[in-house]
Amino acid sequence: MIKFSIGQKLKEIFRSNRIDENFFESLEDILVESDMGIAASVSIVQELKTEALKRGTSDYESLKTLLKEVVSHRISVYDFSIDMGKINLILFLGVNGVGKTTTIAKTAKLVQSEYGNPGIILSAADTFRAAAIDQLQIHGERLGVRVICQEHGSDPGAVIFDSIESAKARGERIILADTAGRMHNKANLVKELQKIDKIIKNRIPEDNYMKFLVIDSTTGQNGLSQAEIFHEAIGVDAAVMAKYDSSARGGIAVSISGKLGIPFVFTGTGEKYGDLKRFSKKEYLDNLLDV
Ligand SMILES: Nc1nc2c(ncn2[C@@H]2O[C@H](COP(=O)(O)OP(=O)(O)OP(=O)(O)O)[C@@H](O)[C@H]2O)c(=O)[nH]1
Ligand SMILES: [Mg+2]
């Protein structure tokens, strides 16, 4: 796996430059290149400059540690837990292809390994894409969890409603709901999500309802505009950094968390069920900034 390493590049510019204006300019370019976005990169460099000057930082290791600190303030982490006394619903959001359905299956596996068997339902509320329901059913069979679905093209809100009623009737504790990443247009998608959100809000207490946005970490700054759209539409509680095993630059997390205040909950590191970890800020920063 070839990772984009800010640390490597930092070392290179550190060798050729003293810590001066040129150095900070080059650093800004590197941060932009890592997908942090221009606004975040400028403000990080500004803060680093001020702090470095104040502390009299002049060697590579101290500067890197300071950079880690400055970036760290811009990332928050979501503390995921399940309330075993009630029904919990996680709605998975994201544009098509980012890894929603796979992340749902992996989340089911993670919950099984951490909580035993709390009674999990996969809710096939992506009724837009023909194969989506089958895909979820296959995961359900493999993982030994129930899948609630209706026909392709049916009302996603009705699927969610059924899932909640069914979980209530059977005492199941966690509903992982898929959603369509694409509709005929953006306005339709937003309207549909708002409808689903209302149905859930009327039935599940706020603390037990989580909205996780899946971000494909290889898509770069596009991820920020996606986050803005979903966050504005229904509010996102946390984001999942999917496909982080590929040669993702990863700076997008700084952009999303820093600008929108959305914390990160999981990191997807492959296609197998076990390839989902709780997001670790330390690991993320080490990956991004160490050589
Ligand atoms: N390498 C890698 N591949 C992943 C990861 N997560 C998902 N994928 C792959 O990405 C592709 C798309 O994943 P899906 O889960 O179908 O994505 P989706 O968002 O549900 O897509 P739509 O239903 O079409 O909107 C699949 O081939 C997955 O195996 C990951 O963390 N790492
Ligand atoms: Mg899907």
Q: Which tens digit of pLDDT belongs to each residue from 243-291?
A: 998 766 789 999 999 999 999 999 999 999 999 999 999 999 988 887 6
Residue 33 burial (10 A CB sphere; 0-12, 13-18, 19+): middle
What is the model's pLDDT at position 182? Answer: 80
pLDDT over 90, % of the chain? 76
Average pLDDT, the chain: 92
**Nearest alpha carbon, ligand 1 atom 26:** 99
Atom of ligand 1 nearest to the CA of 95: 25
**In whole angstroms, what is the distance from residue 35 CA to residue 40 CA?**
10
Orientation angle between helical segments 222-234 and 186-201, nearest 10 degrees: 50
**In whole angstroms, what is the distance from residue 131 CA to residue 121 CA?**
19
The rounded Å distance from CA 106 to ligand 1 centre is 11
Q: Determine contact, residues 65/52, Cβ cutoff 8 Å.
A: no
Query: Is ligand 1 within 6 A of the CB of residue 102?
Result: yes
Non-local CB neighbours of 102 within 8 Å, separated by 6+ positions = 242, 268, 271
Q: Which tens digit of pLDDT belongs to each residue from 79-136?
A: 999 999 999 999 999 999 999 999 999 999 999 999 988 899 999 999 998 899 999 9
Q: Which of 182, 271, 275 to mutate to test the pocket of ligand 1 (most atoms within 8 A of CB)?
A: 271
Query: Is ligand 1 within 6 A of the CB of residue 277?
Result: no
Query: Is ligand 1 within 6 A of the CB of residue 93?
Result: no
Kindly indicate the confidence band of residue 4, based on its pLDDT and cuts at 50, 70 and 90: low
Query: Is ligand 1 within 6 A of the CB of residue 76?
Result: no
Closest CA to 255 of 228, 279, 233, 232: 228
The rounded Å distance from CA 7 to ligand 2 centre is 35
Query: Is ligand 1 within 6 A of the CB of residue 114?
Result: no
Kindly indicate the confidence band of residue 192, based on its pLDDT and cuts at 50, 70 and 90: very high
Q: Provide the residue type at 159 as one letter.
A: V
The rounded Å distance from CA 189 to ligand 2 centre is 15
Closest ligand to the CA of 181: 1
Closest ligand to the CA of 218: 1
Residue 183 DSSP one-character state = -
Non-local CB neighbours of 159 within 8 Å, separated by 6+ positions = 123, 124, 125, 127, 148, 149, 150, 177
pTM of the model: 0.95
Query: Is ligand 1 within 6 A of the CB of residue 265?
Result: no
**Nearest alpha carbon, ligand 1 atom 30:** 243
